[in-house]
Amino acid sequence: MKNSTLNNSAILFFTVLMAAVIFCAITSRNYQISNRAVAGKAMTEGFVSYESLYYDYLQDIDNGFLLVDLRYHAYYEESHLAGAHNIPFDELLQRNHQRKLKKYDNILLYADQEQVSVAAQMLLLGAGIENVRVIPGTYSTIMQYVVEAFDPSRAFYNEDKARWDHQRFMPVGGGETKKQPETSPSREGMDPTAVIGGC
């Protein structure tokens, strides 16, 4: 192979890779964190329990966290949790709010619907504001079970828990049963004709 052919191929390979990386950087400015990472984070560390809210936060209001009330101004004016800062959900992406939120490393969200807090949390995570968690339930359940009188039986309250014995009210056939993946080492699943070799 001629030296110039080798050099030209290398330059082409390098240029294509770098051009693609630059293109990606330009077209991915809407989010700071990948979709997969946001979904994983929201599922694993998305909620703060009522127990933790009561003992770790509301008892010690000055420990450097920010409570965010996502309801409309009018509802917030009527009543809100002590120390809460009001950012209505529809104004969540405004720059001034985001700048304020970025200053805190522990943010707790609540709204009048749990799923609105979840949506806000995921949008904020996508915008690169981490350490955002959701207080489960709604403003009224937080007031009822935590603020007015802490109810230990609701320490892990969550709107997403099943409240019905579904099968009793709506008998249907069983759900899809998925095959558990094989955990023991085995070569049996591999194609017997495949020679996996090297030199």
Partner 1 sequence: MAPLIPQGIINPELNLFFALLLGIGFGYVLEQAGFSSAKKLAGVFYGYDFVVLRVFFTAGITAMTGILFFSYLGWLDMDFVFVNPTFLYSAILGGIIMGFGFIMGGYCPGTGIVAAVTGKTDAMVFIIGMFIGIFVFGHFYQSFESIYTGHFLGNIFVYDSLGMSRAWFALTLAVVAIMAFTITQMIEDRIKKVSPEQIKTRPSYMLPSFLVVIALIVFLFLPEERRSNIREARPPELLAQVHGEDAYISTHRVILEIKHGRDDLILIDTRDQSEFERFSLPGAINIRADEILQRRWRPLFKQDHRRKVFFGNGSSSAMQAWLTAARAGYDNVYILNGGLNRMFSELFVESEMPDTTAYNLQDRSNARFLYEARQFFLEGGLVDQEEDRRQRIKAPEESEIIPVIGGC
Q: Does residue 64 interact with partner 1 by CB under 8 A?
A: no
Look up residue 92 and give its amino acid.
Answer: L
Closest CA to 120 of 135, 109, 131, 128: 109
Is 157 strand, coil or helix? coil
Least spacing, CB of residue 76 vs partner 1, in Å: 16
Closest CA to 68 of 31, 121, 115: 121
d(C-alpha 62, C-alpha 89), whole Å: 25
What is each CA distance from 8 to 13, 14, 17, 20, in whole angstroms? 9, 10, 14, 18
Closest CA to 92 of 125, 65, 64: 125
Q: Does residue 42 interact with partner 1 by CB under 8 A?
A: yes
Contacts with partner 1 in 80-139 (CB under 8 A)? 89-90, 92-93, 113-116, 118-119, 122-123, 126-127, 134, 136
Q: Does residue 34 interact with partner 1 by CB under 8 A?
A: yes
Least spacing, CB of residue 74 vs partner 1, in Å: 16
Q: Which stretch binds partner 1 (CB under 8 A): 8-16, 76-84, 100-108, 146-154?
A: 8-16
Nearer to partner 1, 12 or 61 (CB): 12
Q: Does residue 33 interact with partner 1 by CB under 8 A?
A: yes
Nearer to partner 1, 54 or 137 (CB): 137
What is each CA distance from 182 to 171, 186, 192, in whole angstroms? 32, 9, 18
Contacts with partner 1 in 139-198 (CB under 8 A)? 158-164, 166-167, 169-178, 181, 185-187, 190-191, 194-198
